[in-house]
Amino acid sequence: MKKKLLSAFLVMAMTVSMLAGCGGSGSDAGTADETETTDDSQAEESTGDKVKVALLITGSFGDKAFNDSAHAGMERLMEEMGDQVEVEMIEMGTDKTKWEGSMLDASESDADIIITGLWDMKEITEQVAQEYPDKHYIIFDTDVDYTLGDLSNVYSMSYKQNECAFLAGVLAASLTSSDAEYANEDAVIGFVGARDTAVVINDSAVGYIQGAQFINPDIKVMVSYVGSYVDSATAKELALTQYSSGADCVFVAAGPASVGVIEAAAESQRYVIGVDSDQALAYEGQDEANYIVSSAIKNVGDSLVDAVKKSIAGELPYGEYEILGLKDGVVGLADNDIYQSIVPEDIQNAVNDARDQIISGEIEVNTAYGMDEATLNEIIDSAQ
């Protein structure tokens, strides 16, 4: 199955790779004449030895979401820069009491760059990074509080999931009114999120509803929350209820629990939009893949490759937090063979037009970040 990557990100990644290559070896990149603007704090990455990168993930690989995307990114990093980097990937498991110990072990090792992610690693990173100022830390899908102390060795980044969720809403609202095989006559779609207390999940809900209403202001969007990122059984039950209540396309933003919604879609013979990575690829050759019309992608792996390359080139803004979106080529909808076969051309054009309008600024996507609870509840309640 062929996945089309966003051209904008490819251009950016190639540019960064060329910048990294201009210096030759790490030793050359660290000379004063060639790197006058390079942060001195990155000097240990320019010794001529391979840069050692440690990726620490919560849970394990095989989640068909962030962890697998990060794993794929590290694999690509080794393929492209194996002569410059060494990568160690560590599964920290689900016992949260052991995560800080894993971070401390990595910090005590000879790793130059330590990568981790998600909100539940935020506090640990804030604490450990201050204890090891000579190490560099990259944390994805969350920020750190730079006012807590000297975190000038930490780069944090998250993604504008509201933007790719908006496109998911455009797709679902268009598909439900189409002649697609598994669409019904009702203008009803669904959303299944992990936790209603997680702003990153609500950000997806807000963007999805806005995108759907951009196509049809009167569309009904059912919203349910699992209460967990790992309870796939409950996620499946919620999705089955939405499908039986008229939804013919459900967008899921529930991490590993998303597999339950995909199972429900296959059993109900209805459509589902996956999350985080191209989830249809994980089900290639299986019946479930035929119902995963697309996925709202946050290219974690690609963003990590780009971050490491920038770090080696002395260009990564440690001590800062960045939010990456469509304009950066980091989020979007999966465009694969299933998407091409299921989604009519006019709907594909509608999705592409919406994407272009977001990038140009013609469409401003709402975000749950900074939104008060009353406004959030009004958006969700009025859509149902």
pLDDT digits (tens, 9 = 90+) for 205-215: 999 999 999 99
Query: In the structure, what pLDDT confidence band is assigned to residue 68 with cuts at 50, 70 and 90?
Result: confident
pLDDT of residue 291: 97
Name residue, tokens 């993604």.
159
pLDDT of 343 > 80? The answer is yes
Does 88 score more than 80 pLDDT?
Answer: yes
Q: Which domains, and CATH codes, for the chain?
A: 7-159+300-328 (3.40.50.2300), 161-297+344-383 (3.40.50.2300)
Does 110 score more than 70 pLDDT?
yes
Higher pLDDT pick, 219 / 5: 219
User: For residue 48, what pLDDT is reported?
Assistant: 57
Of the candidate ranges 7-21, 55-69, 193-207, 264-278, the one whose mean pLDDT is the lowest? 7-21
Confidence of residue 361 (pLDDT cuts 50, 70, 90): very high
41 pLDDT above the threshold of 60: no
Give the span between the Cα atoms of 192 and 380, in whole angstroms: 12
Q: Is the pLDDT score of 131 beyond 90?
A: yes
Q: What is the pLDDT of residue 229?
A: 87
Average pLDDT across the chain, whole number: 88
The answer, yes or no, to whether residue 239 has pLDDT greater than 70, is: yes
- CB burial of 171-205 (b: ≥16 within 10 Å; e: otherwise) equals bbbbbbbeebebbeeebbbbbbbbbbebbbbbbbb
Judge whether 91 and 68 are in contact, CB under 8 Å.
no
What's the first-to-final CA gap in the chain, in angstroms?
36
Q: What was the pLDDT predicted at 276?
A: 85
53-62, 91-100, 192-201, 274-283: range with lowest mean pLDDT = 274-283
By percentage, how much of the chain surpasses pLDDT 70?
87
| Burial of 241: CB neighbours in 10 Å, binned 0-12, 13-18, 19+ | middle
pLDDT, residue 62, reads 83
Q: Which structure tokens are listed for 109? A: 């090792």
Backbone CA torsion sign across 32, 34, 37, 41: negative
pLDDT at residue number 65? 74
What are 138-187's pLDDT values in tens digits?
999 999 999 999 999 999 999 999 999 999 999 999 999 999 999 999 99
How far apart (Å, rounded) are the C-alpha atoms in residues 144 and 27? 31
Residue-wise pLDDT tens digits, 15-30? 333 333 333 333 333 3
Match 């975000």 to its residue by tokens. 367
Higher pLDDT, 285 or 223: 223
- Distance separating alpha carbons of residues 162 and 366, to the nearest angstrom: 7
3-class DSSP string for 317-378? CCCCEEEECHHHCCEEECCCHHHHHHCCHHHHHHHHHHHHHHHHCCCCCCCCCCCCHHHHHH
3-class secondary structure, 295: strand
Is the pLDDT at 130 greater than 60? The verdict is: yes
At residue 239, φ and ψ (nearest 5 deg) are: -65, -40
Q: Which two tokens stand for residue 55?
A: 């990726």
For 186, the 3-state DSSP assignment is: coil
Dist. CA 279–CA 259, nearest whole Å: 9
Q: Minimal CA–CA distance to 76: which of 155, 164, 154, 16?
A: 16
